[in-house]
């Protein structure tokens, strides 16, 4: 999963920083915003051993160690200390909700977002990317998945407990703040045109007469106005 996260970060405005962090047991990659006006870093991380105890070790010790190594590497600018988000990839069944909460609420070193996933979700995403020939996971690719089938996937996701392609992409969008969900534009019907197309010529004339009236109708003139309109046909 971390390789897919790295793909997403790399193809949405961030460049990988060549930094060899000697931190056994963890796969770590550092990214910096390509746009110099955006003073922002991201760190993707996955523990080689997927276990709740390892996740707690990250919270209590390793996150601070990694933070200090990056800060002292000479590869980052001063704003790294204030604006770096760590994306922690972790198998859902191997981390507790309490640990996720503790990581994400921890105010020290990195801001931490925990992205959990199941084997089925990962396989669904890999299958989609492979079958559609997607090599670069851009924001457009994410939106295409979320907007597929005219929104039916979202309804199925809400009504079913089954987790798959939609659920993992939605979670990824929520955890990576630079991804922006854009709802698919729906072709709204022209109500006035629909009315005209479904009325007989006679009723169409009456309809147009009604909507063209500039006089404000009230209890005193409503009968006269209606008679004027209908008189067109009489």
Q: Does the predicted model carry a pTM greater than 0.95?
A: no
Q: How many residues does the chain have?
A: 234
Q: Would residue 43 count as lying in a domain?
A: yes
Both 44 and 156 in one domain: the answer is yes
Both 210 and 127 in one domain: the answer is no
Q: Would residue 180 count as lying in a domain?
A: no
The answer for residues whose C-beta is within 8 angstroms of residue 103's C-beta and 6 or more apart is 55, 58, 59, 88, 112, 114
Pairing of strands 26-33, 14-17: antiparallel
Is residue 163 within 8 Å of residue 123, measured between CB atoms? Answer: no
Helix axes 139-146, 165-175, angle to 10 degrees: 130
What pLDDT is stored for residue 234 in this prediction? 39
What pLDDT is stored for residue 228 in this prediction? 65
What pLDDT is stored for residue 205 in this prediction? 72
Both 139 and 208 in one domain: the answer is no
Q: How far apart are the first and last CA of the chain?
A: 74
Both 145 and 206 in one domain: the answer is no
Domain interval for residue 204:
191-231
What pLDDT is stored for residue 18 in this prediction? 93
Beta strands in 39-129 (DSSP E): 41-47, 84-91, 111-117
Beta strands in the chain (DSSP E): 14-17, 26-33, 41-47, 84-91, 111-117
Both 127 and 61 in one domain: the answer is yes
Both 117 and 195 in one domain: the answer is no
**Token pair for 183:** 């709802």
What pLDDT is stored for residue 150 in this prediction? 76
Both 89 and 205 in one domain: the answer is no
Is residue 44 within 8 Å of residue 9, measured between CB atoms? Answer: yes
Both 137 and 45 in one domain: the answer is yes
> What parts of the chain have a pLDDT lower than 50?
187-189, 232-234
What pLDDT is stored for residue 133 in this prediction? 96
Distance CA 6, CA 28 (A): 10
Which of 52, 47, 38, 123 has its CA nearest to residue 89? 47
What pLDDT is stored for residue 158 in this prediction? 72
Which residue carries 């910096």 as its tokens? 32
The C-alpha angle with vertex 103 and arms to 98 and 109, in degrees rounded to 5, equals 160
Both 165 and 206 in one domain: the answer is no
Q: How far is CA 224 from the centre of its chain?
A: 57
- Specify the number of domains making up the chain: 2
Both 58 and 143 in one domain: the answer is yes
What pLDDT is stored for residue 232 in this prediction? 45
Both 153 and 212 in one domain: the answer is no
Q: Would residue 185 count as lying in a domain?
A: no
Q: Would residue 181 count as lying in a domain?
A: no
Rounded CA Rg of the chain: 28
What pLDDT is stored for residue 29 in this prediction? 96
Both 200 and 158 in one domain: the answer is no
């Amino acid at each position: 999963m971390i390789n897919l996260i790295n793909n997403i970060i790399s193809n949405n405005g961030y460049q990988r920083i060549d930094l060899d962090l000697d931190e056994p047991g963890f796969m770590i990659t550092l990214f910096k915003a390509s746009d110099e006006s955006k003073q922002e870093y991201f760190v993707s991380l996955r523990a080689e051993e997927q276990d709740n105890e390892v996740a707690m070790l990250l919270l209590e010790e390793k996150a601070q160690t990694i933070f200090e190594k990056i800060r002292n590497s000479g590869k980052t600018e001063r704003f790294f200390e204030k604006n770096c988000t760590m994306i922690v990839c972790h198998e859902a069944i191997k981390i507790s909700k309490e640990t996720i909460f503790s990581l994400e609420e921890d105010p020290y070193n990195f801001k931490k977002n925990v992205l959990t996933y199941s084997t089925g979700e990962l396989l669904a995403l890999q299958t989609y990317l492979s079958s559609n020939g997607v090599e670069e996971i851009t924001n457009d690719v994410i939106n295409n998945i979320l907007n597929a089938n005219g929104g039916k996937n979202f309804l199925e996701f809400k009504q079913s407990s089954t987790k798959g392609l939609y659920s993992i992409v939605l979670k990824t969008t929520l955890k990576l703040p630079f991804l922006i969900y854009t709802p698919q534009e729906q072709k709204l019907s022209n109500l006035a045109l629909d009315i005209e197309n479904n009325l007989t010529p006679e009723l169409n004339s009456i309809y147009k007469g009604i909507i063209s009236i500039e006089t404000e109708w009230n209890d005193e003139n409503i009968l006269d106005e209606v008679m004027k309109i209908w008189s067109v046909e009489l």
